[in-house]
Every structure is written in structure tokens, then in C-alpha cells.
Amino acid sequence: MKTIDLDISSVRELNACLHDHGADMPDEWRVLHPHGKHALAVGLQAAHKVSIEGHAGYYCGGMNKAAEITVKGQCGKGLGENIMSGVIRVEGNAAEAVGASGHGGMIVVEGDASSRCGISMKGVDIVVQGSVGHMSGFMAQAGNLVVCGDADDDLGDSIYEARIYVRGKTGALGADCVEKEMTPEHLETLAGLLKQAGMACGPDGFRRYGSARKLYNFDIDNAENY
């Protein structure tokens, strides 16, 4: 395991080390004293295990591919933006736009996530142990957003084919988002996601939300919703 202290090294030096694919580079990394710095562990393409021991700033783990990143604290906005694969876990709360435009992999937030969690997600799986803010799942195209707590207003606004599962209460649903039937297939998928994320709860009590499919093509009767 290699340790990098950000009181001594810069973020640029940290990311350069993590991008080095040399045969003698370690697989496990500890990042000390992050102090909320931005763009930590971005663009990783190797299956590193990175432990960030403190709070992270904006865009932590962005464009992640294959790495397993753990933030032992809170995290700023844009966590795991455009993630392709791998796993990102935050042991505290996360700010806006968790997993924005994420194509794959999994993001786990053990606390709450702020607004626009899962915005424009394209295949990533996001599991939030707490609650999420307004407009979560906005324009979500593919993947799964699992919320073990509550969801604020405008959930799933303009959603495409992503699936949203919420255990708690929801505010007003967004345009074209409706509650849908929870079939045995969905219960099985949800159980697998919760287990993978390390959540203690099972799929019972969750409700599923998705697209009513009325905004795919322009319809004058729906003009006010566009």
C-alpha cells in the first residue's frame, strides 16, 4: 500500500501517480489530509483501491474506470461524474449531482445525497442509504437509482428508461414520472443492488418509479410539460 499526504503532495501529483500503470505500482492507496480538495482520484483506469481519509471536494472519482474508491468523510458535488465502471463509496453525505451522466459501475452514499442525484444517468447504479434532494433522476436514461430514505420534489423529471426505487416518502413527481408496478423481476434486481451496496435492508417496502413515456415525441396536448 502506498500513502500520499496531500499536506505534502499536490492533487496533480496524486492523480499522476494513480495514472501510472507501471509494473511496480501498488494496487492499494491511502490519501491523507484531503481537506476537501477537488478532483481527487479522477480518470482512473486501473483496478486500484483508493481510500481517501477525510472530506473530498468537487468531482471526486470522476470518469472512474475499474477503481474502487472510498471517501471516509463527506463529498462535494459531481461525485463520480461520468463513471464508466468500478465502485465509489462515500461514508458520509454527498452534495449535488452524484453520478451525473454515469455509464456504468456503482456509487454508494451511506448518508444523504443532495439535489439532482443521478442526473442524466446512462447505466450507473446509485444506492443512497439516506435521502435525496429535488430533481433526482432528472433525464435519467438507464441504470438504477435506489433511495432507502425519502426523495424530494420533481423526482424523475423527464426520465427515460432508468428505474428509481424509493423506500420512504416522495414529494411531487417530476414531468412524465409515475409510480410503476413492482414485479418479481424488479424485487430480485433491487435485492441484488442492496446486497452489492452493503445495505442492511431488503427490497420490501420499496416503490418503483419510471417513465410514463408521454414525452418521447412532441404532442400538442402535452406542450405545457416540455
Interior CA angle at 175 toward 169 and 177, to 5°?
55
Helices (H) and strands (E) in the chain, counts: 2, 11
Interior CA angle at 153 toward 150 and 154, to 5°?
120
Which has the closest alpha carbon to 108: 117, 31, 202, 116? 117
What is the model's pLDDT at position 191? 98
Residuewise pLDDT in 10s, the chain (226 residues): 999 999 999 999 999 999 987 667 789 999 999 999 999 999 999 999 999 999 999 999 999 999 999 999 999 999 999 999 999 999 999 999 999 999 999 999 999 999 999 999 999 999 999 999 999 999 999 999 999 999 999 999 999 999 999 999 999 999 999 999 999 999 999 999 999 999 999 999 999 999 999 877 667 676 676 5
User: What is the full DSSP assignment across 65-77?
Assistant: -S-EEEESS-B-T
Instruction: Report domain extents, the chain.
Output: 96-217
Q: How far apart are the C-alpha atoms of 187 and 28, rounded to whole Å?
A: 35
Q: What share of the chain is helix, strand, coil (3-state, %, to 5)?
A: 15, 25, 60
Amino acid, res. 161: E
User: What is the full DSSP assignment across 149-202?
Assistant: S-B-SSBTTT--S-EEEESS-B-SB-TTEEEE---HHHHHHHHHHHHHHT-S--
Write down the residue that cell numbers 499536490 correspond to.
10
CB-count burial class (<10 Å; 0-12, 13-18, 19+) for 15? middle
What is the model's pLDDT at position 25? 78
**With the C-alpha atoms ordered 226, 135, 144, 101, is the resulting torsion angle positive or negative?**
positive
What is the model's pLDDT at position 21? 74
**What pTM was computed for the model?**
0.95
The terminus-to-terminus CA distance of the chain in angstroms comes to 52
What is the model's pLDDT at position 220? 66
| Residues across the chain | 226
What is the model's pLDDT at position 215? 79
What is the model's pLDDT at position 23? 65
Q: Contact at 8 Å (CB) between 112 and 74?
A: no
Question: Which grid coordinates belong to 181?
Answer: 408496478
